[in-house]
A and B are shown apart, each in its own frame.
Chain A
Amino acid sequence: MKLLIRGGRVIDPANEIDAIMDVLVADGKIEAIAPNIQAEGAINIDAAGKWVCPGFIDMHVHLREPGFEYKEDIASGTRAAAAGGFTTVCCMPNTDPVIDNAAVASFVRERAQKSGVVNVLPIGSITKKQAGRELSEMAELVEAGCVAVSDDGLPVADSAIMRNALQYADMFGLPVLSHCEDLNLARDGQMHEGYYSIIYGLKGIPAAAEEIMVARDIILAQTTGAQVHICHVSTAGSIDMIRDAQERGVQVSCEVTPHHLILTDEIVGSYDADTKVNPPLRPLEDVVALREGLLDGTIDCIATDHAPHHLESKDCEYNLAAFGISGLETAVALIMDKLVHPQILDAETMVSLFTIGPADILGINKGSLDVGTDADITIVDPELVREVNPREFYSKGKNTPFKGMVLKGWPWMTIVSGRVVYKEGKIITE
């Protein structure tokens, strides 16, 4: 089967392409990119006025399966991904059981094959059961298809274990994704510690809780020569340290979430638990610093930290509510509306932050429209205006602080290995 995507603005930063062209897909692979392609028998897709991009990659999502299917499962989570314009997601290992061995990693991949609609690349845990004591069997995890290891949600407190993990993972070129949080400093915290935490009477999580661990991990990466990736950076201090380390040649990369780029801690005053997230929403100075980091290349990619929760764990007292935002279905529209349309971020940089940025960190052969590679394609309608309506989410997690926001610029079509899985608001399954 052939697809001919005609007349769209093709934006492929990896190949430095930004022009009106056609893209021909055959047998699930990219066959040609050129102006005015003629292809007999191909299904035509009129992409005039749309942006045709390599499939977007979200390297930080929680699909909750196995163990927490009432929050999300691979079927619903990958549908949310497709609707959000993502063709590949990397799922975090804090499931039950934890993805700390080949059996669980294989289970996730099989479920993704059977019930999923986009590519699912599992992330293994750094330590067995995420207990922070013994390293997971990383060679086995790589064999089973894991693309990284992470302690997301349960950071490795012991610096000796973390150092061993960086050294050991480096043997396989396996990136270590570090959730930086000093749990003692963050204990019982509900929001960022600062002016608004005083006003709202909520226990604060100081910026230092993140920055101390960022500093530690940079020092460990430097002294071991291994690579480390900092998950969801959220403070100006973290950005400064990462920038400085990169300039000194330390192998440190980082990601940022859309909500940390857009919201500030002021909105917690609604006591709507959909604003409760870890790391917490920060003050404007931090948001400004994150945007600077995005523009000067300190930040390598945008990731959602998609953290779906069921209603009862959000519709309650703020202190009792779970941390996390359901982010897959709003990420692209938020970045389009808040950063691209206001000309803070150009289209090419935006696309690279969702494509070649994460692909390079993970070392996967995705994120470009190279001829011969898997035809994972995201088509964005930059002019489409729509309201964020969580009730229409494919994700089971309706927990978004962006509900009701009207945004311009949404994913229009999502193609995975040459198959259209999402088109104009609908998931397409055969």
Chain B
Amino acid sequence: MSKEGGKTVKLEQRKDLLGLRDVSREEIEMILSTATPMKDILKRDIKKVPTLRGKAMVTVFYENSTRTRTSFEIAGKYLSADTVNLAVSTSSVAKGESLRDTVKTIEAMGFDLMVIRHGMSGTPSYVARNTNMRIINAGDGANEHPTQALLDLYSIKEAKGSLEDLKVVIVGDILHSRVARSNIYGLSKFGCEIRVVGPATLMPPEIEKLGVKAYNNLDQALRGADVINVLRIQRERQVAGLFPSLDEYSNLYMLSPERLKNAREDVLVLHPGPMNRGVEISSALADSTTAVVNEQVTNGVAVRMALLFLMMGGSKDEITY
């Protein structure tokens, strides 16, 4: 939850981006529209612009990540911010330093913004309360992953022209998924019909109170779908007794070209990555033009550039630089 509440529209007035739950539709639209010129910069031969020169940001990842951390880092660098990555396993954290002390130490070095990923829900909120740095949540436990949802929204809008009134299906481990939650909060602000589908043991009780429809049967959930967002399934969930085997899971829930027969012909398939080919998505589908997994990665950089630009005080005129 952001201290600013859900009322502010201007991102530059917002100290932190902790989740999409309390971000307004107008703010999301502003980020997405700013991402388009950013994507143009990415296509240039010389990609660097001086917009955030003199600003400093740090990424602090308490969980493994390839695309999100790299994406934030390169987004910062393209905008000329000084970007530092804290490798948590080689830092004082490994010596038992508390999170509070780590944050205070980083703050004392003069960073303007911190990007944090943490396995425990709510940790970015806790950090934001204890620092003057701006905080961007890069994923916290099963709570939120707002920049992933923003890049998903951008990818959907890019392919479909609009976010209005689409039928979007989210498939997989809804219970543990921060991607699912942030997508639900984001998409519901654009009047989308959101369906979640997965085994009952990976479906939170009372999920429908979020305004979504819950299914256990994939074929039913896919009927008339415009967009399918496929979540990564983790083997640990099998060990925890939540489903019997990955084999049975893929028989019931793996997306493949054949299973798309109920969806619309122009259905768009998203996956936040990293993919387990042959488990939640078939190789044939992953490599088809229906799936835009790599385009999502490019859009991720553009959306994060937009966010950094808006939050670290760039002025609107400078984007066209």
A residues in contact (CB < 8 Å) with B:
190, 193-195, 197-204, 269-271, 312, 315-320
Contacts of A204 in B (CB 8 A): 205
Task: Establish whether residues A202 and B100, one from each chain, have CB atoms under 8 Å apart when the complex forms.
Answer: no
Interface size bracket, B side: 20 to 34
Q: Which residues of the other chain, B, contact A271 by a CB distance below 8 angstroms?
A: 1, 121-123, 125-126
In the bound complex, how far is the Cα of B206 from the Cα of A197, in angstroms? Answer: 10
Known: A312-B98, A316-B99, A316-B100. A200 touches B122 (CB 8 A): yes
A201 touches B122 (CB 8 A): yes
Complex CA gap A226/B187 in Å reads: 57
The interface bits of chain B over 103-135 (1 if a CB of A lies within 8 angstroms of the residue's CB, else 0) are 000000000000000101111011000000000
CA distance A271 to B125 in the complex (A): 7
Q: Could you pull out 26 A-B pairs where Cβ atoms are within 8 angstroms?
A: A190-B121, A193-B205, A195-B206, A195-B209, A198-B181, A198-B204, A198-B209, A199-B181, A199-B210, A200-B121, A201-B142, A201-B178, A202-B121, A202-B122, A202-B142, A270-B125, A312-B98, A316-B99, A316-B126, A317-B118, A317-B122, A317-B123, A317-B126, A318-B121, A318-B123, A319-B121
Per-residue CB proximity of B1-23 to A under 8 Å, as 1/0?
10000000000000000000100
Given contacts A195-B209, A271-B126, contact A316 B98 (CB under 8 A): yes
Complexed CA–CA distance, A203 and B99 (Å): 21
Contact A201 B143 (CB under 8 A): yes
Q: Is the CB of A202 within 8 A of B141?
A: yes
| Set of chain B residues within 8 Å of A190, measured between Cβ atoms | 121
In the complex, B144 has a CB within 8 A of chain A: yes
Q: Are B210 and A198 in contact (CB under 8 A)?
A: yes
Complexed CA–CA distance, A194 and B98 (Å): 30
Say yes or no: A317-B207 contact (C-beta < 8 A), given A269-B1, A270-B1. no
Asked if A201 and B140 make an inter-chain contact with CB atoms under 8 angstroms apart, the answer reads yes
Docked CA distance A200–B121 (Å): 7
Q: B residues within 8 A CB of A320?
A: 120
5 pairs of A and B residues whose beta carbons are closest in the complex: A201-B143, A271-B122, A201-B121, A201-B142, A319-B120
CB of A318 within 8 A of CB of B204, answer no
Q: Which residues of B contact A202 (CB under 8 A)?
A: 121-122, 141-143
Alpha-carbon distance A269/B126, docked complex (angstroms):
11
* Residue of A with least CB distance to B127: A317
Task: State A197–B175 Cα separation when bound (angstroms).
Answer: 10
Find the A residue at minimum CB distance from B203.
Answer: A198
- B210 A318 Cβ-Cβ under 8 A: no
> Which among B98, B123, B142, B206 has the highest number of chain A CB atoms within 10 Å?
B206
Contact code string B241-269 (vs A, CB < 8 Å = 1, else 0): 00000000000000000000000000000
Q: Tell me, rounded to whole Å, the shortest Cβ–Cβ distance linking B25 to chain A.
A: 19
The residue from A193, A197, A201, A318 contacting B126, defined by CB atoms under 8 A apart? A318
Q: Which B residues are in CB contact (< 8 Å) with A197? A: 204
Task: Check B144 against A201 for contact (C-beta < 8 Å).
Answer: yes
User: Which residues of B sit under 8 angstroms from A201, Cβ to Cβ?
Assistant: 121-122, 140-144, 178, 181
| B210 neighbours in A (Cβ, 8 Å) | 198-199
CA distance A367 to B125 in the complex (A): 45
Residues A318 and B120 in contact in the complex (CB < 8 Å), given A201-B143, A202-B141, A269-B1: yes
Q: Write out the residue numbers on chain A whose beta carbons fall within 8 Å of the beta carbon of B121.
A: 190, 200-202, 271, 318-319
A195 partner residues in chain B, CB cutoff 8 A: 206, 209
| A-side contacts of B143, CB under 8 Å | 200-202
Q: Measured between alpha carbons, how far is A204 from B99 in the docked complex, in Å?
A: 24
CB pair A198–B206 under 8 Å, yes or no, is yes
Question: Which residues on the B side are within 8 Å of A269 (C-beta)?
Answer: 1
Scan B204-221; emit 1 where CB is below 8 A from any A CB, else 0: 111101100000000000
- Are A319 and B141 closer than 8 Å at their CB atoms? yes
Instruction: Determine the chain A residues whose CB is within 8 A of the CB of B1 once the complex forms.
Output: 269-271
CB-CB under 8 A from A317, the residues of chain B are 99, 118, 120, 122-123, 126
B126:A199 contact, CB within 8 angstroms? no
Provide the residues of chain B in CB contact with A203, threshold 8 Å.
Answer: 142
A194 near B122 with CB under 8 A, answer no
Which residues of A sit under 8 angstroms from B142, Cβ to Cβ?
201-203
Least CB separation from B141: chain A residue: A201
* Measured CA separation A60–B114 after assembly (Å): 43
Within the assembled complex, what's the spacing in Å between the Cα atoms of A10 and B144?
55
Per the 8 Å Cβ criterion, residues 57-98 of B in contact with A are: 98
**Nearest chain A CB to B57 CB, angstrom units:** 22
The interface residues of chain B lying within 8 Å CB-to-CB of A200 are 121-122, 143
CA distance in complex: A201, B173 (Å):
13
Give Cα distance in the complex from A194 to B205, angstroms. Answer: 6
Please, how many angstroms separate the alpha-carbon atoms of A195 and B21 in the complex?
Answer: 14
User: Contacts A198-B209, A198-B210, A204-B205 given; 20 further ones with Cβ under 8 A?
Assistant: A199-B21, A201-B122, A201-B181, A202-B122, A202-B141, A202-B142, A269-B1, A270-B125, A271-B1, A271-B121, A271-B123, A271-B125, A315-B100, A316-B99, A317-B120, A317-B123, A318-B122, A318-B123, A319-B120, A319-B121
Contact residues, B134-190 vs A (CB, 8 A): 140-144, 178, 181
B contact residues around A270 at 8 Å (CB): 1, 125
Chain A residues within an 8 Å CB radius of B125: 270-271
Q: How far is the CA of A413 from the CA of B204 in the complex (A)?
A: 49
Contacts of B144 in A (CB 8 A): 201
Return B111 CB to nearest CB of chain A, in Å.
20
